[in-house]
Chains A and B, each alone.
Chain A
């Protein structure tokens, strides 16, 4: 009996050790960003393509105020309410003390400088595909923006989702840093980078499973809105039947082919995409044409 107990406790310790090992927050090598020539001007394009302001500017901010990344947007979800943090260059309340490597660990692996897991409301499952040189440029650009001293709000997340270590298991199950769609041609390849990595379109347009992992088999085929109200439309072939010109027009002006206009979060996305060069918009359209079609309804 005593032997059995001892045996079981060994098993438990080994189990815990394995859990601890597989759920450890991943990091890049310390030299990963060495030698990258950071350029704030290029970083501005990365900033708009990645849509940072949509969530990290104060809710309702317009114009220049969208460059003050004070945080505050709420993300209601089945797991609790997440709050976008302050990522302005303030050293105390923002990320002023972060190196480019810290930003890369956050975006590629969802790992904080202190080595904790971030919640995937921060779309690192998409940013995991971002080029390190783009992250270096983005870091340089972010540091040129105005500082804000507004403290970040704590997340309103209950047990068991408040155990951050368990996110290591979530990442193990659902994080995927390879490309989702096989594409051909330079234009569609650029478009894939913009959609699957920086633009993180799949985070809202792809359905999720019960644990919040993306269902890659139904990529961009539409999903329930994370706040529980309404649906985010499918944009895979067979669903989005607009012409190339109409999609490009929508992404830069917000006008649909019927001259209704984008609302909700998509209006934020349009504000960001309007800052990108026309070639990039065409690239997004080229990529969308190569996404696997949604099954006929």
Chain B
């Protein structure tokens, strides 16, 4: 009798787990699409910052036109409307390792918008600075990195 009960409990548990996993995958499709788009956006940031950072580090020869073009791209990217990129439920509590976005982004007291604005401003400052000589570019790269770090410090799960 006891064995039967244990087996039944086991079956019920397995069923519950399977149901949760199924409903999870359905509800998450929209969220996963947004996560993919976010990552693509971040890669475009990194691609453009890569040229600017390489010049700042002396790994790539400074070229005012190329630096300006990359910085303008970055500034334009920073101004894209992101409202559909961050649907509720697209955090790492819901999606596990698919994203490092912490649920705190959606908290009532979240300052993620202010931190996003700081990035837009740093990208605009880089757009102004990048074509004005290597020293000018170097002066803008630190604040740009700090503005990226602002969000990643507070709202991204460290994944080391």
Q: Which chain A residues have a beta carbon within 8 Å of chain B's beta carbons?
A: 60, 62, 225, 229-233, 245-246, 248-249, 252-255, 258-268, 270-271, 274
Chain B count of residues within 8 A CB distance of the other chain = 28
Partner of B152, one of A60, A232, A263: A263
Which residues of chain B are near A225, meaning CB under 8 Å?
158, 160
A258 to B46, CA, bound (A): 7
Min distance, Cβ A269 to any Cβ of chain B, angstroms:
10
> Of residues B50, B146, B150, B156, which shows the largest number of chain A Cβ atoms within 10 Å of its Cβ?
B146
* 4 closest A-B pairs by CB: A253-B145, A267-B153, A264-B158, A263-B152
Main secondary structure of the interface of B (DSSP, over half): helix
- CB pairs A–B below 8 angstroms (14 shown): A225-B160, A229-B157, A230-B160, A246-B57, A253-B142, A253-B144, A255-B49, A258-B50, A259-B53, A262-B149, A262-B152, A263-B157, A265-B158, A267-B153
Tell whether B159 is near chain A: CB-to-CB under 8 Å. Answer: yes
Partner of B160, one of A231, A248, A255, A258: A231
How many A-B contacts if CB must be within 8 Å?
Answer: 82
Interface set, chain B 123-160, CB cutoff 8 A to A? 141-142, 144-146, 148-150, 152-154, 156-160
Which residues of chain A are near B98, meaning CB under 8 Å?
none
Tell whether B29 is near chain A: CB-to-CB under 8 Å. Answer: no
Are A263 and B59 also in contact (CB < 8 A) when A230-B157, A231-B160 are?
A: no
Verify B142–A274 contact, CB threshold 8 A: yes
A264 to B150, CA, bound (A): 10
Tell whether B120 is near chain A: CB-to-CB under 8 Å. Answer: no
Are A254 and B57 also in contact (CB < 8 A) when A230-B159, A232-B160, A259-B50 are?
A: no
A255 to B141, CA, bound (A): 10
New contact pairs (10) apart from A60-B154, A253-B144, A265-B158, CB-CB < 8 Å: A229-B157, A230-B159, A248-B57, A253-B56, A253-B141, A253-B145, A259-B53, A262-B149, A263-B153, A263-B158
